[in-house]
Amino acid sequence: MAAARRLRHDLHRRPETAWAERETAATVREILDTAQIDWRRCADTGTVATLAPQAGGRHVALRADLDALPIAEQTGLAHASQIEGTMHACGHDGHTATLIAVAHWLGAHRDALPGPVTLLFQPAEEGGHGAARMIEDGCLDAPAGSPHARAVDVIFGWHNWPALPQGLALCPDGPVMAANGTFRVELHGRGGHASQPEATRDPVLAAAAVTVALQQVVARRVAPQVPAVLAVTSLEAVSAATVTPEQAALAGSIRVPDLAVRDEVFAAIRQIATDTAAAHGVHAEVTTAARYAATVNHRGPAAELRAALSSVVGAGWADHAVGAPVMASEDFSYYLQQIPGAFALIGGGPEPPARAAALHSSRYDFNDALIDPAARVLIELTGAPPPPAPDIETG
């Protein structure tokens, strides 16, 4: 895994955000060329590589995401980001390095593959709907130029999860990660002098009231058995200390287990924000935006992924403390809406996990110790010969 770790650190030093992953894509493609693995461009900065396209068994796809986040890194590490204001704060550098390690092994053993294997190096997972664009561009279709090749039958993916200690994982049947969406409430009032509140219609007060009132959505509009999160994450009301402004705004995100609950929560946000604003003499304009659907595992592939985890990590891998679905979201959901597949969260944090920097934190760094076991799990799912200890990359 030494080469994969070096690659991971190199990718970490030069992160690229969604739809700008040009150097990252070039690096992936160069490595595939060196390994004599055929690939094609997909969704601009994405790459689709297929091995053994004529093999008779089922066609398995494995996915890694490429993009970083607009966050200023504060780790102080030797391999810290060299791009100001951008960092790999979600571990996609590690996911990419892991799939490259898998590519090396499968490339060296392509003649032993029971069926085709497609490797998806996907851009723009972080809110850019990159999976949808990859699907639109045919990433799950039969490889062109292979007359007897078939479309992808099943897909597997994973995400590092620092909130779980290393050696544990989460891979349920059904939902593993939540659906999400965002909302924005703009409040239009009447500005004026702070000494004459009766002459104004204060949008700042209304924004505060709406923020508090929205907390009843989860507490009173959603059944307690349904996992849901509503978070107001920003407030805007630029003004001087003695001036009531003309407008204010608030925004936030929601996490829900399915699209039906998302629709209910969005409707409640619109009603509560509009009515609360009206009670303060202020007009509210509410906009909502759906982002990703829930990531829902298919029963058969999820059982396969759990078996691979047991084989590689050990029988005690299953975490029973973290409930599913977790409230983060993933655009891997797009693939699972198209074909059978499964997704796992693989723990990479210390014990206790509370000591770990969270995903999307400026102090987060991917745990390199995950590359080897995650790669072995993915290789096992393809039916390829298992790598011997200690190093997959020895071939």
Is 207 strand, coil or helix? Answer: helix
pLDDT at 147: 78
| pLDDT of 212 strictly over 60 | yes
CA dist 65 to 39, 57, 61, 97, 285, Å? 16, 26, 13, 10, 35
Q: Residues 276-285: what's their mean pLDDT?
A: 98
The catalytic residue positions are 67, 125
205-222: average pLDDT: 97
Q: What is the mean pLDDT of residues 358-364?
A: 96
* Alpha-carbon separation of residue 121 from 9, 10, 24, 35, 93 (angstroms): 17, 17, 10, 16, 11
Report pTM.
0.92
Q: Is the per-residue pLDDT at 11 higher than 70?
A: yes
Average pLDDT, the chain: 95
Predicted confidence at residue 148, as pLDDT, reads 80
Between CA 389 and CA 372 the distance in angstroms is 10
Phi and psi, residue 26, nearest 5°:
-60, -40
* 112 C-beta neighbours (distance < 10 Å), count: 12
pLDDT confidence tier of residue 392, bands split at 50, 70 and 90: low
What average pLDDT does the segment 270-297 reach?
Answer: 97
Cis (ω within 30 of 0) for the bond into 325? yes
pLDDT tens across 97-142, in order? 999 999 999 999 999 999 999 999 999 999 999 999 999 999 999 9
